[in-house]
Amino acid sequence: MKYPRLIINETKFKNNVKVAIDICKKNNIDVLAVTKGFCGNRRMAELYSECGIKYFGDSRLENFDVYSDIEGHKQLLRIPSIFEIQDVVKKCDSSLNGDLNVIQKISKYCLNQNLKPHKIVLMVDLGDRREGVLPEETLYTVDQIINLKGVELIGLGCNFGCYGARIPSDEAMQIFVDLKHKIEQKYNIKLSHMSGGNSLSLHLVWENRMPKEINFLRMGFAMIFGTEDMYRKTIKGMFRDAFRCQAEVIEVDYKSSLPVGKCGIDAFGHKPYFEDIGDIKRIIVGIGKLDTMFDAMIPIDKDLKILGGSTDHLIINANDSKHNYKVGDIINFDLDWGSLLYLFNSKYVEKIFEK
């Protein structure tokens, strides 16, 4: 018995993936399943594959190695760095791109090596202000790309809700698909890969607002947590709790809520603030900032309140709980994106797959 644990319910996760595929299929959209949250966990890629996923995306090239033998199109989601070009071309069927210099270097590499052109999806920044060219720069950029013989422009991509927390609007999507039509007409090419966003764009599909030109969505979050950031409700037919964390109580005590002594800085360089709520029952759980992101851990016992912690300890106010926690008890947590990432990435966390 080893804790902390990340528990993956395969049945619930696969159900979520199938529901997402069904929602998208009605609009002729393929789900490009995003594996980056699983930090190279092979079983997770297998689960996607068992659901019928044929397109996979990740931001880190190493993660593709783990499931290189699983059949499907592999797309690099983070715009490649100049030093990654060789591996991108080798490991990926396509990549998202935003910088003409990088695209030129990819082309040069493929030509030099006598490889077939690398497929690229040009990212267009519709307002979130992360990667991509601006709509007004897109045609100029495409002009340059068309002349490069070592790359093949297969489509355009857009992204919302990541850096700028922008929500996709009908106007932005219209600008996006207008660009597709302009490019196809001007260069007499077909842009067959129109990548219309991430999980935050899924609601456009079920609201019948997604332009028919969009035929791909890159999704992780919605299938992992059965929810998305627009409505923040569980998506019909999905489960919110396909993933959970279990950690062990390693100390229980009654202490004042206020530390004693002159206040300096904590282990992470911050000056903390403490509210004096008198003596409280506190439990220390054997999981720390090395393993997870506390803000993204939601105790399933709603009466538990996370107070904070340090590298290896999580401190919880258990004063209001109906349960009389003792050392050795297991605390269950629902997760969010930040904790999922850390837990999958921590070698100290056991990954348990349940049916």
Ligand X SMILES: *Cc1c(COP(=O)(O)O)cnc(C)c1O
| Catalytic sites, residue numbers | 36
Between 98 and 299, CB nearer to ligand X: 98
Q: Taking CB positions, which residue lies at the least distance from ligand X?
A: 220
3-state secondary structure of 153: strand
Between 89 and 158, CB nearer to ligand X: 158
* Beta strands, E only, the chain: 5-9, 30-34, 55-58, 73-76, 94-97, 118-123, 151-157, 193-195, 216-219, 243-256, 279-285, 297-299, 305-309, 314-317, 330-335, 350-354
3-state secondary structure of 353: strand
Q: Give the x/- contact pattern for ligand X in 84-123, rule: CB under 6 A.
A: ------------x---------------------------
Beta bridge partners of 7: 244, 352
CA torsion through residues 133, 94, 17, 9, sign: negative
CB of 100 to ligand X, least distance (A): 18
Backbone angles phi, psi at 152, to 5 degrees: -125, 120
Q: Please select the residue that binds ligand X; options are 10, 12, 14, 59, rule is CB under 6 A.
A: 59
- Listed ranges 134-142, 144-152, 212-220, 247-255: which one lies at the site for ligand X (CB under 6 A): 212-220
Q: How many helices (H) and strands (E) does the chain have?
A: 10, 16
CB of 246 to ligand X, least distance (A): 24
Between 223 and 315, CB nearer to ligand X: 223
Answer yes or no whether residue 220 interacts with ligand X by CB under 6 A.
Answer: yes
Which of positions 29-58 make contact with ligand X (CB under 6 A)?
Answer: 34, 36
Residues that bind ligand X (rule: CB under 6 A) add up to a total of 13
* Parallel/antiparallel/unpaired status of strands 330-335 and 297-299: antiparallel
CB of 200 to ligand X, least distance (A): 6
Q: Please select the residue that binds ligand X; options are 9, 94, 138, 199, rule is CB under 6 A.
A: 199
Interface residue list for ligand X (CB under 6 A): 34, 36, 59, 77, 96, 159, 198-199, 218-222
